[in-house]
Structure formats: structure tokens, C-alpha cells
Amino acid sequence: MRALIAVSLVMSLQQVSFKESQLKHSRVNSAYQEKERLVKEYFTNKQLDYGGFHLFIRAFKQEKLLEIWIKEKGDETHHLLTTYPICTTSGVLGPKRKEGDLQIPEGVYRINHFNPVSTFHLSLGVSYPNASDRILSDPKHPGGAIYIHGNCVTLGCLPITDDRIKELYVLAVEANNNGQTDIPLHIFPAKFDQHVVADLKEKFEKSPATIRFWENLKIVYDDFEKLKTLKRIRVNNKGEYYF
């Protein structure tokens, strides 16, 4: 029992130290002063608990939309907290496959970096290339340095303006501080509704590899749409996602 208490205490101190270290940066401190009250109001309005939540992010390129989902402490179901417009995009629909193609990635990722001194105000790193990308993308030059960030310019990232990145950054810091060191991020070409899928297949009929990729990615989309829970997602030796 004492050992468990000691471990819990160490973990708690580590979590607090992360938030404290972030708050030492002026932009993060300002983001909390400007936005934490508003962020808490989102929770109140949706009747969600601000204490101990975990975060899940979904991005849709065609709709230019970022969805923010919350899982309350002790629950497995996710609830939509708010949405942010993606203010501009680059490239076309379809996954990122090489450095310099200007493509925004598509697939199953996680937030792997907090940058409180970003060139684009604040930014959250995307774990591109992931295991699937390393199989399907250019083996030597797949590209990288993909972020959700402020401002409204992009060469393959997801910009949501300085104002909105402040809110999302606060949410991400709080989630990390609650023990969620792995914040999932799913990026889709579009919302895979039936008519959208048919339209995509028609527009990209000359790109069968892209269609196959989307058909595989749709499995991930459909599962969350149905259950509003997240399962562990794996990648096989063909670069395909599976549960």
C-alpha cells in the first residue's frame, strides 16, 4: 500500500511539474489567463466535469473542422465539447506520402510535442509519420514537423488561429496534467458519410491506392461514430489499420 501511495505521489508531482513548466512560458500563462474560464464554461454548458478529463481530437480536411472530444474521469464514452474551424489548408484530399508534397496527413496519430514558443504562437505536434506512414510513404523522405498551431498559414499543418490555439493548448496541458500523456488525434479526408464516400470514390477513381486507404481508414471512423469509445488501433505489415 505504501509503495502504491509513493508511486501515485511521484506521478502527481510529475504531472504538476509539467503544467508548472508550461506556465513558465509567457504565451501559455497568458492563454490560461485569457481562456481557462471560457474553457471551463464549455464543460459547464455540456454538463461535463473539468476535473480529470482526457482529450481526443478529430480533424476533417474537406469540412475544415477540428472536433474536440472529452472523456470524463471513470468513463469510457467521449462527448463532443466544441469544434474549431481549420482556417486554411494545403495540398489536396489524400494522405501525406513524402516530404514537400504540402499534404496534411491522414490517419491515426497522437499529440507528441507541446511547443510553447512556436513560430505560430502555440503548437501541438502531430506524430507523423506513424507506423502506417512509414510503410506506405517515401522510405527516405516521408516528411515531418506537422502541427496543430496558431496563425492562419500552412504547408501541411492544421492552423486554427492564435485565439483558438490558446483554448486547445489549455485543454491539452490539462489533459496531460491529468495523466494523459498520449492524446489521440484522428485525421480524415472528410466525414465518411455514405454520400461523401460515394463522391470521394467518383472523384478519385483514378487513384485506387487512395481509395483503398480511405476504405481502411473508414473502419476507424465508423467504430468511433457507433460507440464513441476508442479502441487500441494496430498497423499490419501492409500499413493497414486494424483493431
In this predicted model, what pLDDT tens digit does every residue of 28-62 receive, in sequence order?
A: 999 999 999 999 999 999 999 999 999 999 999 99
Question: Given this model, what pLDDT does residue 17 score?
Answer: 78
Question: What are the tens digits of pLDDT across the range 68-89?
Answer: 999 999 999 999 999 999 999 9
Grid coordinates in use for 114? 507541446
The mean pLDDT value for 222-228 works out to: 97
Alpha-carbon distance 165 to 157, whole Å?
13
Cis amide bond preceding 129, omega within 30? yes
- Percentage with pLDDT > 70 across the chain: 93
Provide the phi-psi class of 238: left if phi over 0, else alpha when psi is between -120 and 50, else beta. Answer: alpha
**Bridge partners of residue 214, in order along the sequence:** none
For residue 16, what pLDDT band results from cuts at 50, 70 and 90?
A: low
pTM: 0.92
Picking from 214, 220, 228, 236, the residue whose alpha carbon sits closest to that of residue 186 is: 220
